[in-house]
Amino acid sequence: MFRRTTQEHTRRAAEALRLVSLRKVYGAADSAVTALDGVTLSLGAGTFTAVMGPSGSGKSTLLQCAAGLDRPDAGQVMVDGEEMTGGTEAELTKFRRQRIGFVFQQYNLLPTLTVAQNTTLPLKLAGRRIDRDRARDILTQVGLGDRLGHRPDQLSGGQRQRVAIARALVTEPSVVFADEPTGALDTRSARDVLRLLQAAVRIHGRTVVMVTHDPVAASYADTVVFLADGRLAGHLNAPTVDAVAERLAHLGDSDNDRGSDRGDVPAGV
């Protein structure tokens, strides 16, 4: 597990996440559903990518397999050039805690812990030294420097999601996966959260992969990758709300795999 080839090592500086021929099937025989059908994708370090597609397109399965929360039936997942496909559950858990951050729609904060304690929880679980000054700095950056002792039920939805982002960043992960991070938020809170994700990329150099159904949220990303029926169905660089909505409306059209005319095609697409 976590092998690095010479070719992968040379690519590490420019590539944070690489998926190779990912395949995932749920069920068996006549009831089998192919959620991912040979997806290959490469995302550069310090980029913000949105993943979109209709219900059942495979976008949530893609995130779960890429983040190590589920195992693909076939294919490879590489983070920083190191393969995390295979190995034991203990090895996979350790790898996730070192390299990957998560932001979920429902926040997943522990109600009995304070803002500061929720933020540093990944460090505690990983057995790493808890740098409270760094945690305080991150919470200040997300606008919660005066809420360190508060508990989740004393915060708004937007504030809870800010805690989740701080928690995802405190371990200095290579890749942050965000699953519908604005789905439960009002418009203003959603905008603030999206700007924080942008800052994680532009200021902290993280790679962010966000699953969303919202064209407005997707417009904050550098690139949108579209899925349909478990396969890549095109991409859009420098997305706008209108361009994303139009592409979604025409997923499955014969010309939809033409790529974008707004820049270079991402490696692997």
DSSP assignment string, the chain: -----HHHHHHTTTEEEEEEEEEEEES-GGG-EEEEEEEEEEEETT-EEEEE-STTSSHHHHHHHHTTSS--SEEEEEETTEE-SSS-HHHHHHHHHHHEEEEETT----TTS-HHHHHHHHHHHTT----HHHHHHHHHHTT-TT-TT--GGGS-HHHHHHHHHHHHHTT--SEEEEESTTTTS-HHHHHHHHHHHHHHHHTT--EEEEE-S-HHHHTTSSEEEEEETTEEEEEEES--HHHHHHHHHTTT-TTGGG--SSSPPPTT-
Mean pLDDT of the region 255-264: 42
Determine how many CB atoms are found less than 10 A away from the CB of residue 234: 21
Banded model confidence at residue 93, pLDDT cuts 50, 70, 90: confident
Q: Can you tell me the distance from the alpha carbon of 218 to that of 222, in angstroms, rounded to the nearest whole number?
A: 9
CA-to-CA separations, 65 to 123, 124, 232, in angstroms, rounded: 23, 25, 15
Q: Can you tell me the distance from the alpha carbon of 38 to that of 21, in angstroms, rounded to the nearest whole number?
A: 4
Q: What is the pLDDT of residue 167?
A: 94
Question: Do residues 12 and 46 touch, judged by C-beta distance below 8 A?
Answer: no
Q: What is the pLDDT of residue 98?
A: 87
Fold of 47-68+88-258: Rossmann fold (3.40.50)
Q: Where are the domains of the chain?
A: 47-68+88-258
pLDDT tens digits for 28-44?
878 889 999 999 999 99
Q: Can you tell me the distance from the alpha carbon of 175 to that of 201, in angstroms, rounded to the nearest whole number?
A: 10
pLDDT of 104 over the 80 cut: yes
Banded model confidence at residue 19, pLDDT cuts 50, 70, 90: very high
pLDDT tens digits for 205-227?
999 999 999 999 999 999 999 99
Q: What is the pLDDT of residue 260?
A: 43
CA nearest to 181, candidates 168, 171, 170:
168
Q: What is the pLDDT of residue 252?
A: 65
Q: Can you tell me the distance from the alpha carbon of 13 to that of 83, in angstroms, rounded to the nearest whole number?
A: 15
Q: Considering the chain, what percentage of its residues have pLDDT values greater than 70?
A: 88
pLDDT of 257 over the 60 cut: no
pLDDT tens digits for 41-92?
999 999 999 999 998 899 999 999 999 999 999 999 999 988 887 778 888 8
pLDDT of 22 over the 60 cut: yes
pLDDT tens digits for 153-195?
999 999 999 999 999 999 999 999 999 999 989 999 999 999 9
